[in-house]
Amino acid sequence: MSEEALRPAVPAAAEGAPAQTAVISRIFSTILFTFLAYMTIGIPLAVLPGYVHLDLGYSSFIAGLSISVQYVSTFITRAQAGRMVDTIGPKKTVMRGMLACVASGAFLVLAAWFAELPWLSLTMILISRSCLGVGESLAGTGAIIWGIGRIGAAHTARMISWNGIATYGALAIGAPLGVALEHTAGFSAIGFLALALPLIGYLIARRRPAVPIMRGERLAFRLVLNRVLPYGIGLALGTVGFGAIATFITLYYASHQWSNAAFSLTLFSCCFIGSRLLFANAINRFGGFRVAIASFIVETLGLTILWLAGSAEIAMIGASLAGFGFALVFPSLGVEAVGLVPAANRGAALGAYSVFLDLALGITGPLAGLIVGQFGYNDVFLCAAVGSVCAAALTLSLYRRSRPASHD
């Protein structure tokens, strides 16, 4: 599909679009909910694999599974989240997502209390991660469509980009905060904070204005999924690198007796944010396909450096480049994917597209755990780099197929 075909048929001003300052204000007021949801995700992220593996005594496979359960849960509920946005509205969807994150924090507190019974503590962690997956699905999808509804469809790429900045900004803050909190106050403090933050988000969301529900024909989810399928596959292949870093970077550092693993997550997230800030308008200027291809190339370079890293500092450079490259993958392919369906199906399209991110993250944890058991931690990043190369090749193919249409 050409860039022209994705642009609104009328100017933004004719659609009653808000002024520039109002656009920025509404973006920030909406991505707040994404930020709070992902703070809930980020706080235990650097702590949980080590807690399951070292404190509870389970294998690296189970440690990876404890992280990936969240992504599996998100994957299962993402389609329903999209339909919920289109039918009951994004505000109510976000509020339900915040409550699911509250439940996740509560089960994390229970996991700390039952630490003397490893099987019960692990069960509470798995339930917590499942609730968090539901919360991520509802809050993440709902916040983007809520924001688009408030600022207009012309700003779709901008809304998706800033939503991602909130996502990885929260992870950048949450990961070291969780480590520091565990060291000073214990594992249970992580659970209490993970409970309090989304509760605040829920109370704020109740007071924010809703947006009208888009009217029009509702396409069957199967049809929506078929339209976004190739874009979703590209997203999934590129997401494997993030999943490998998020799940195993702490254990990777520990296996080499390196310190500051949480700081690598912070660098990944900071470079992610920096990339989106520096190249915020790149998608509109060069098109989603071109930006995605360049992003995959940079991500591949970062993952390759992680694979070959001989020191903590080199590994940090690799994580930084991977974050910088991965930053624009979701919005660049997402703009192309969401533009394939009518406005009344945006939530379903975004949900269907995001399913592939969840699928990749859900598979990466246990699969990477098996790779670790057979080959070691370094080769996890080699496999992720291969996935990123395949994503670049697929996106190039999609771009070439779209070019004849742009000349019609």
CB 395 within 8 A of CB 232: no
Question: Over the range 276-294, which residues count as b (16 or more CB within 10 Å of their CB) and which as e?
Answer: beebbebbbeebbbbbbbb
Highest mean pLDDT among 7-11, 269-273, 312-316, 337-341: 312-316
**pLDDT single digits (tens) 337-391:** 877 777 677 777 777 888 888 788 778 877 877 887 778 788 889 999 999 999 9
* Pair 143, 163: CB distance under 8 Å: yes
pLDDT in tens, 318-340: 999 999 999 899 889 988 887 77
Give CA separation, 383 vs 300, 304, 368, 375, in Å: 10, 9, 9, 11
Domains annotated for the chain, with CATH where assigned, are: 14-406 (1.20.1250.20)
Question: CA nearest 360: which of 328, 335, 336, 326?
Answer: 326
Q: Measured between alpha carbons, how far is residue 334 from residues 16, 160, 226, 229, 377 in Å? A: 24, 8, 14, 11, 31
Output the CA–CA distances (angstroms, integers) from residue 391 to 9, 275, 348, 387, in the order listed: 31, 19, 23, 6
Average pLDDT across the chain, whole number: 83
Q: CA 192 to CA 49: how far, in whole Å?
A: 19
Residue 207 burial by CB count (10 A; 0-12/13-18/19+): exposed, middle or buried? exposed
Q: Helix, strand, or coil here: 18?
A: coil
DSSP state of 9: S
Which pLDDT does position 19 carry in this prediction? Answer: 66
> Which percentage of the chain shows pLDDT scores above 70?
91
Helix (H) or strand (E) holding 348: helix 346-375
396, pLDDT greater than 60:
yes
Contact criterion met (CB below 8 Å) for 274 and 324: yes
In this prediction the pTM is: 0.70
User: Would you list the DSSP string of 62-89?
Assistant: HHHHHHHHHHHHHHHHHHHHHHHHHHH-
Q: Which residue has the higher pLDDT, 21 or 102?
A: 102
One-letter amino acid of 163? N
Residue 216 has a pLDDT of 63
What pLDDT does 160 receive? 78
Structure token pair of residue 84: 């919920």
Select, from the ranges 116-120, 211-215, 359-363, the one with the highest average predicted confidence (pLDDT): 116-120
Q: Which pLDDT score, from 0 to 100, does residue 150 have?
A: 83
Structure confidence at residue 18 (pLDDT): 59
pLDDT at residue 404 in the model: 60
Judge contact between 389 and 300, C-beta under 8 A: yes
pLDDT per residue as tens digits for the range 40-95:
988 888 788 888 887 787 887 788 778 778 878 887 887 788 788 888 888 999 99
pLDDT on residue 2: 36
pLDDT in tens, 165-212: 888 778 778 878 888 898 888 888 998 999 999 999 999 999 888 887
